[in-house]
A and B are shown apart, each in its own frame.
Chain A
Amino acid sequence: MIHADDGILSQEQRLMRDSCRSFVDDVVTPFIRSNWQREWDMSPGERLPSAILEGAEAIGVRTLGVPEEFGGIDLEKETEVRTFALISEEIARGDSGLADKLVQNWKVSIVLRQFAPKHLQEKWFPRLLEDPKFLLAHCLTEPRGASDRWLPYNVPEASMHTKAVLDGDHWVINGRKQFISNGFDASLYVVYANTDPSVGMLQGTSSFLVPRGTPGLTITKCNETMGCRFMNNGELVFEDCRVPADHLLVKSTALASAGQYFRAGKIIQAAKNLGVGVACFERTADYVQNYVQGGRILIKHQAVALRLADMATRIEAVRSLVERAAKAVDEAHPDADILCNMAKVYASEEIMKVATHALELHGGNGAMLEFGIEKLFRDAAIFLHMDATVDVSRMKIIKNMFPATAGKYAGPES
Chain B
Amino acid sequence: MTILVLAEHQDTQLDEATAKAVSAAGRMGGDVHVLVAGSGCGAAAEAAARLEGVAKVLLADDPSLANRLAEPVAALVVSLAGGYDALLAPSTTSGKNIMPRVAALLDVMQISDVIAVEGPDLFQRPIYAGNVIQTVRSTDARKVLTVRVSSFPAAAVTAATRPIEAAAISADPARSSFVRSELSGSERPELTGARIVVSGGRALASAENFETVLAPLADRLGAAIGASRAAVDAGYVSNDLQVGQTGKIIAPDLYIACGISGAIQHLAGMKDSKVIVAINKDPEAPIFQVADYGLVADLFEAVPEFHATVAEKMRA
User: Which A residues contact B (CB, under 8 angstroms)?
Assistant: 33-34, 290-291, 370
Q: When each residue 247-284 of chain B gets 1 if its CB lies under 8 Å from chain A and 0 otherwise, what string results?
A: 00000000000000000100010000000000000000
- CA gap between A33 and B264 in the complex, in Å: 17
Q: Does B206 contact A (CB under 8 A)?
A: no
> In the complex the two chains form, is A291's CB within 8 Å of B246's CB?
no
The B interface, classified by DSSP as helix, strand, loop or mixed, is: helix
Nearest-neighbour CB distance to chain B for A298, whole angstroms, equals: 12
> In the complex the two chains form, is A290's CB within 8 Å of B246's CB?
no
| Residues of chain A contacted by B246 (CB below 8 angstroms) | 33-34, 370
List 6 interface pairs A-B (beta carbons < 8 Å), by A numbering.
Answer: A33-B246, A34-B246, A290-B264, A290-B268, A291-B264, A370-B246
| Residues of chain B contacted by A290 (CB below 8 angstroms) | 264, 268
| Residues of chain B contacted by A370 (CB below 8 angstroms) | 246
Nearest-neighbour CB distance to chain B for A38, whole angstroms, equals: 13
| Residues of chain A contacted by B264 (CB below 8 angstroms) | 290-291
| Residues of chain A contacted by B268 (CB below 8 angstroms) | 290
* A372, closest chain B residue (CB): B246
Q: When each residue 103-127 of chain B gets 1 if its CB lies under 8 Å from chain A and 0 otherwise, what string results?
A: 0000000000000000000000000
| Residues of chain B contacted by A33 (CB below 8 angstroms) | 246
* B247, closest chain A residue (CB): A34
- CA gap between A291 and B246 in the complex, in Å: 16
Nearest-neighbour CB distance to chain B for A283, whole angstroms, equals: 11
* B267, closest chain A residue (CB): A290
* B229, closest chain A residue (CB): A370
Q: When each residue 19-38 of chain B gets 1 if its CB lies under 8 Å from chain A and 0 otherwise, what string results?
A: 00000000000000000000
Nearest-neighbour CB distance to chain A for B39, whole angstroms, equals: 45
Nearest-neighbour CB distance to chain A for B273, whole angstroms, equals: 15
| Residues of chain B contacted by A34 (CB below 8 angstroms) | 246
* A286, closest chain B residue (CB): B268
Nearest-neighbour CB distance to chain B for A114, whole angstroms, equals: 45
* B264, closest chain A residue (CB): A291
* B289, closest chain A residue (CB): A292
Nearest-neighbour CB distance to chain B for A295, whole angstroms, equals: 12
Nearest-neighbour CB distance to chain A for B272, whole angstroms, equals: 12
Nearest-neighbour CB distance to chain B for A30, whole angstroms, equals: 10
Nearest-neighbour CB distance to chain A for B196, whole angstroms, equals: 25
Instruction: Pick the 5 closest A-B CB pairs, nearest first.
Output: A33-B246, A291-B264, A370-B246, A290-B268, A290-B264
* A34, closest chain B residue (CB): B246
* B242, closest chain A residue (CB): A34
| Residues of chain B contacted by A291 (CB below 8 angstroms) | 264
Nearest-neighbour CB distance to chain A for B262, whole angstroms, equals: 13
Nearest-neighbour CB distance to chain A for B32, whole angstroms, equals: 46
Nearest-neighbour CB distance to chain B for A268, whole angstroms, equals: 31
- CA gap between A291 and B268 in the complex, in Å: 10
Nearest-neighbour CB distance to chain A for B314, whole angstroms, equals: 37
Nearest-neighbour CB distance to chain B for A36, whole angstroms, equals: 8
Q: When each residue 268-310 of chain B gets 1 if its CB lies under 8 Å from chain A and 0 otherwise, what string results?
A: 1000000000000000000000000000000000000000000
Nearest-neighbour CB distance to chain A for B161, whole angstroms, equals: 55
Nearest-neighbour CB distance to chain B for A297, whole angstroms, equals: 11
* A292, closest chain B residue (CB): B264
- CA gap between A33 and B268 in the complex, in Å: 15
Nearest-neighbour CB distance to chain A for B239, whole angstroms, equals: 8
Nearest-neighbour CB distance to chain A for B88, whole angstroms, equals: 39
* B271, closest chain A residue (CB): A290
Nearest-neighbour CB distance to chain A for B217, whole angstroms, equals: 29
- CA gap between A34 and B268 in the complex, in Å: 16
